[in-house]
A and B are shown apart, each in its own frame.
Chain A
């Protein structure tokens, strides 16, 4: 599943340079723990979870998350962020199965 849906949200929607906002990264992911059994086949569903998430602003990482199985399905990660100015906010992720991807949002402070 290479085309996984992911989304970056900035709250509040209108912000100024130097203001502290909350950046949320949402992603559709099953987050399998590797301990659940498939009810139909009785087979154990192999572990598949997001293991690394990195928040970058203009290519510079400002927050790194290490994630394990106990995070919920379709996770949302929210961190604080002090807006330094115009730029691009990128979030990259990696799973334990080697899948990776990223999502970008433009940061446009007003004033």
Chain B
């Protein structure tokens, strides 16, 4: 029993150490990117304080396990008629644990015909990728997917 308790404490300490050290090392050695921004701040800048609602209309396609964090293909498609009355105004992509969570904002118009966007992004570590779609009616729809990164792609 003592052994178990001991192992648990050691294990916890190790986990805590693993979590803290990289970020501390980063802060000490490397300057944070000039555009470093947290997820909350970035979301607030876009939605103006509104919380985006998770929706089935937003389809986020990304690998569950990315072997190379430097190239992670991300595809977003939003169900929308894309008419001048009702279309997707913008698609925002966030990598929730990168030092600058903002990855890309795509401003769309009805001329796109389809609310589709695809690119390849860098992920520093295992994290969630979040997509927020802004409709012309002022709604914010979101989707999230966790991506396991084997080798980080930042820095």
Contacts and interface: CB of A to CB of B under 8 A. Distances in A.
Is B a genuine binding partner of A?
yes
Interface of A: 20, 22, 31, 33-37, 44, 47, 57, 60-73, 75-82, 84
B130 interface: no
Given A35-B155, A62-B111, A71 B104 contact: yes
A64 B107 contact: yes
B71 interface: yes
Interface in B19-61: 30-35
Interface of B: 30-35, 70-72, 82, 95, 98-100, 102-109, 111-123, 153-155
A38 B24 CA distance: 21
13 contacts: A20-B113, A20-B114, A34-B31, A34-B34, A47-B33, A64-B107, A69-B100, A70-B98, A71-B104, A72-B71, A73-B70, A78-B118, A80-B116
A84 B109 CA distance: 14
Given A44-B31, A63-B112, A69-B35, A78 B99 contact: no
